[in-house]
Amino acid sequence: MKAFAAVDLGASSGRVMVGRVGPSVLELTEAHRFGNEPVRAGGTLYWDILRLHRGVLEGLRQAGPVDSIGIDSWAVDYGFVDGSGALLGNPVHYRDGRTDGISVAVPDDRLYQITGLQKLPFNTIYQLVAARSTPQYAAAEQLLLIPDLLAYWLTGELGAEYTNASTTQLVDVRTRQWALPLIEELGLRPSLFPEIRQPGATIGAFGGTPVVAVGSHDTASAVVGVPAAGERFAYISCGTWSLVGLELTEPVLTPASKAANFTNEGGVDGTIRYLRNVMGLWPLQEAMREWGISDISALLRAAVGEPALKHLVDLDDPVFIPPGDMVGRLTGAARLPADTAPAVVTRCILDSLALAQRKAVEQAQELAGRAVDAVHIVGGGARNALLCQLTADACGLPVLAGPVEATALGNVLVQARAAGVIDGDLAALRAVLRQTQQIVRYEPGGDPAAWQAAAKRI
């Protein structure tokens, strides 16, 4: 048996998990959990990066001796370091408004052909164009994405892990390297971008323990953690976001794929994560914060009793991206009074989310030319029985829910393979998940015609 520390940073909390792996064994325990609260200062929304670093150090201390350490976090955000390796300023949160209205000189079609990425206003490319004329940018030597920055602080080694680098919209989807001509064309300095490393590579050491690159984009690790057999499956990595799509071997770069805003993110083992960002549980999390409700179980029990598909909103609308007054935006979009009961708003969010997930599952199959037999839901959303059942009903497909900790498990599995404890491809890693993790099956039910009609309303 070997033990691996998985540092997993999410939008609202960070955790250090310890995964113990041996023949037919995969167990996860939480060593330490710490808050991740963005801070607004001088009108900008920042991540509290030093608090996160401290949480990582404390978590690794509590984890005790391990055979290696792997780090994953949300995508697209970065810090700059100068020539002496000092961090220049605090990393800015992707939900900050600095990219509002930012456009780049390269036409969208060409950007899609080069990078395969969906257009999201907060992609690193737009953040960099917004930052290009600042003194901080002028002083920067290297750009480090969040997991790479934390790994740098642990090991002193600079680099860019591939799966997360792919989310910047500055990596060539074919060569899997930085798209240097594009970077130059945008007036950005190619020297800012460190060498790309692949999941499984050793980055360096922290106090004698190897730090290993994993799928450092949390969604890449979550997709490794999908316990699917075969390839006829769709996945939904459901947390703050719902990342809905397929695992492919080649990107889909057709005009229809671009029009549907599907992305071709880089996955572990050279796979393509062909998916779309659906708004996920963020609107509900924000609404609960505003209502001062922390007990989601009671809220969901009340929402189950509300009439189905009565109030719907288009969760693909970017109006829901920034924080603040979520209830106002939701009730406004659903044409409900601002003081509508939380159970009604919750039902509206979950019906709308199930519908948005259905649309993405259908479009992914059509655009990639691959039919699926089941939808896997992993991440925190797998715990939400109402959402899982609604998704099964909306898609007309069985939903296989779990593991909740797919991201940390995917992180651990890649480390375990690098350490030689497990052998084989992603299918082999997933077979270990099926043997060891609890998965709940939801059969499709409900009224297909009602979902069909609802899909036309938004």
Q: Indicate which residues carry an active-site annotation.
A: 218
Binding region for ligand LRH (CB under 6 A) out of 51-59, 71-79, 346-354, 358-366: 71-79
Q: Give residue 447's identity as a one-letter amino acid code.
A: D
Cβ-contact 217, 163 below 8 angstroms: yes
**Closer residue to ligand LRH (CB): 142 or 164:** 164
Half-sphere exposure in the Cβ direction for 240 (13 Å, CA): 16
Residue with tokens 């779990």: 402
112 binds ligand LRH (CB under 6 A): no
- Report how many residues bind ligand LRH under the rule CB under 6 A: 11
**Smallest gap from residue 281 Cβ to ligand LRH (A):** 11
Scanning 35-43, 200-208, 236-244, 444-452 for contacts with ligand LRH by CB under 6 A, the matching segment is 236-244
Structure tokens, 258: 């671009």
78 binds ligand LRH (CB under 6 A): no
Kindly tell me which residue out of 99, 277, 331, 437 binds ligand LRH, with binding defined by CB under 6 A: 277
Does 262 engage in binding with ligand LRH (CB under 6 A)?
A: no
- 393 touches ligand LRH by CB under 6 A: no
CB of 218 to ligand LRH, least distance (A): 5
Nearer to ligand LRH, 194 or 280 (CB): 280
Binding window for ligand LRH (CB under 6 A); candidates: 213-221, 244-252, 282-290, 330-338 = 213-221
Q: Which is nearer to ligand LRH, 78 or 152 (CB)?
A: 78
- Lookup: tokens for 82: 């100068």
Using the minimum distance from each CB to ligand LRH, give the nearer residue, 75 or 390: 75
Cβ of residue 434: shortest distance to ligand LRH, in angstroms? 24
- The verdict on 163 binding ligand LRH (CB under 6 A) reads no
Out of 104, 179, 243, 287, point to the residue binding ligand LRH (CB under 6 A). 243
Residue 305 in 3-state DSSP?
coil
User: Considering only CA atoms, which of 261, 230, 259 is closest in space to residue 245?
Assistant: 261
- Give me the residues paired with residue 72 across strands: 8
Q: Where are the beta strands (DSSP E) in 219-351?
A: 233-238, 242-248, 263-266, 272-278
At position 209, the amino acid (one-letter code) is T
* Binding of residue 247 to ligand LRH (CB under 6 A): no
Task: For residue 225, give the H/E element and its range.
Answer: none
> What is the C-alpha separation between 120 and 97, in angstroms, rounded?
13
Torsion of the alpha carbons at 110, 113, 115 and 121, rounded to the nearest 10: 50
CA distance 112 to 180: 15
- Write out the DSSP string of 162-223: HHHHGGGT-B-TTT-SB-HHHHHHTT--GGGSPPEE-TT-EEEEETTEEEE----BHHHHHH
The type of residue at 67 is D
What three-state secondary structure class fits 95? coil
Per CB under 6 A, the list member of 47, 137, 162, 241 interacting with ligand LRH is 241
Binding span for ligand LRH by CB under 6 A among 70-78, 107-115, 227-235, 309-317: 70-78
Q: Does 193 bind ligand LRH (CB under 6 A)?
A: no
Cβ closer to ligand LRH: 240 or 411?
240
Pick 252 or 336: Cβ nearer ligand LRH: 252
Q: Name the residues that contact ligand LRH, by CB under 6 A.
A: 74-76, 94, 217-219, 240-241, 243, 277
